[in-house]
């Protein structure tokens, strides 16, 4: 796993080991950042269910003003911090070890981009989407990664499904505010 482009381009990132871990592939990461390529610079990025932190790190490398990393697992949070240090992107980062619900309940600043990739087939993604939409700027985009056989609603709050992309057994779904489609 590596940073694709930007200030930390080519830097290798540490990954997590184990059965519960499923890092986003470079192919999916490239696809996500192609979708939001002109929307990243100067923006506030949420990497919910951060894992190794590669999505938020990629956003910072591409000029995001701030990336917030949230993961419930201590090992994940430690890995995110090591990866931020290795890429020299710590200044624009905030890292939280918390359940997504706890984090969102204390968050007061809206996000421009949110990336959600929770454990598959647990029902967590739908719950997280329903809560994240209340923490987004109206002009923002929510990006969800999930397996093809896991269905998502057409809308969550004021955010409506914009597009879906298929990559093998994975799909990426973007949601945008109904007034900005």
Lowest mean pLDDT among 11-25, 37-51, 139-153, 167-181: 11-25
Residue percentage of the chain with pLDDT more than 70: 97
Q: Where is average pLDDT lowest: 9-13, 24-28, 108-112, 126-130?
A: 24-28
CA 63 to each of CA 17, 38, 44, 53, 112: distance values in angstroms, whole numbers, following the listed order:
29, 10, 10, 16, 13
Domain boundaries, the chain: 26-180
User: So what's the pLDDT on residue 19?
Assistant: 53
Round to whole Å and give the CA distance between 145 and 77. 20
Task: Phi first, then psi: give them for residue 138, nearest 5 degrees.
Answer: -60, -30
Can you give the pLDDT at residue 98? Answer: 98
In 3D space, the residue among 28, 45, 157 whose CA is nearest the CA of residue 110 turns out to be 45
Which class in CATH covers the domain with range 26-180? alpha beta
The answer to whether 80 and 15 are in contact (CB under 8 A) is no
Q: What are phi and psi of 29, to 5 degrees?
A: -60, -45
Tens digit of each residue's pLDDT (9 = 90 or more) over 3-46: 999 999 999 999 987 655 677 888 999 999 999 999 999 999 99
User: In whole angstroms, what is the distance from residue 57 CA to residue 72 CA?
Assistant: 18
Q: Distance of alpha carbon 118 from its chain centroid, rounded? A: 10
């Amino acid at each position: 796993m590596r940073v694709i482009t930007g200030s930390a381009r080519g830097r290798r990132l540490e990954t997590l080991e184990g059965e519960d871990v499923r890092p986003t592939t470079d192919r999916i990461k490239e696809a996500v950042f192609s979708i939001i390529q002109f929307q990243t610079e100067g923006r506030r990025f949420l990497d919910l269910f951060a894992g190794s932190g590669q999505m938020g790190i990629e956003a910072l490398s591409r000029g995001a003003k701030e990336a917030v990393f949230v993961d419930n697992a201590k090992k994940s949070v430690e890995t995110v911090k090591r990866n931020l240090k290795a890429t020299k992107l710590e200044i624009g980062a905030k890292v939280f070890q918390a359940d997504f619900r706890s984090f969102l309940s204390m968050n007061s600043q809206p996000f421009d981009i949110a990336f959600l990739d929770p454990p598959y087939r647990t029902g967590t993604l739908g719950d997280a989407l329903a809560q994240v939409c209340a923490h987004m700027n109206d002009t923002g985009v929510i990006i969800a990664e999930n397996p093809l056989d896991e269905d998502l609603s057409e809308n969550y709050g004021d955010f409506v499904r914009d597009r879906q992309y298929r990559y093998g057994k994975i799909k990426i779904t973007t949601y945008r505010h109904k007034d900005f489609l």
